[in-house]
């Protein structure tokens, strides 16, 4: 899921507003600081899959000769590798 920076900021602001409405939740920072922190966390989490895909492409690039020699489908190898790494690293996509 790709979100624009403006949409991420809006979601962060909405989250802060919703949490502020709950009795018993007290913030230790001002809204602007919280919004920046939440935006950074959300952006980082949304980029996990992009970083994983880039890593897999680099891994497969170094083995592209073997993939071609064995007449394997690059997309299938990519999907299997992604599934394996996601499972091994316990990544939630």
Per-residue pLDDT of the chain in tens (93 residues, 90 and over written 9): 578 999 999 999 999 999 999 988 989 999 999 999 999 999 998 899 999 999 999 999 999 999 999 999 999 999 999 999 999 999 988
Residues 68 and 41 in one domain: no
Please answer whether residues 49 and 63 qualify as being in contact, where contact means their C-beta atoms are separated by less than 8 angstroms. no
Counting runs of H as helices and runs of E as strands, what totals does the chain give?
5, 0
Residue 74: predicted pLDDT: 94
Give CA–CA dist 93/90, Å, rounded. 10
Residues 76 and 54 in one domain: yes
Give CA–CA dist 77/84, Å, rounded. 11
Residues 68 and 58 in one domain: yes
Q: Each residue of 60-85: b (16+ CB within 10 Å) or e?
A: beeeeeebeeeeeeeeebbeebbeee
CA 29 to chain centre: 26
Residue 73: predicted pLDDT: 94
Domain hosting 57: range is 48-89
Residue 84: predicted pLDDT: 96
Residue 9: predicted pLDDT: 94
Rounded to whole angstroms, the maximal C-alpha distance in the chain is: 63
Residue 1: predicted pLDDT: 56
Residues 85 and 63 in one domain: yes
Residue 70: predicted pLDDT: 93
Task: Provide the number of structural domains found in the chain.
Answer: 2
């Amino acid at each position: 899921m790709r979100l624009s920076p403006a949409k991420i900021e809006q979601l962060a602001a909405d989250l802060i507003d919703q949490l502020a409405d709950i009795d018993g939740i007290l913030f230790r920072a001002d809204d602007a600081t919280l919004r920046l922190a939440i935006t950074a966390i959300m952006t980082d989490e949304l980029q996990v899959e992009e970083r994983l895909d880039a890593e897999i492409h680099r891994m497969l690039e170094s083995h592209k000769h073997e993939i071609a020699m064995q007449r394997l489908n690059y997309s299938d190898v990519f999907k299997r590798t992604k599934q394996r790494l996601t499972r091994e690293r316990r990544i939630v996509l």
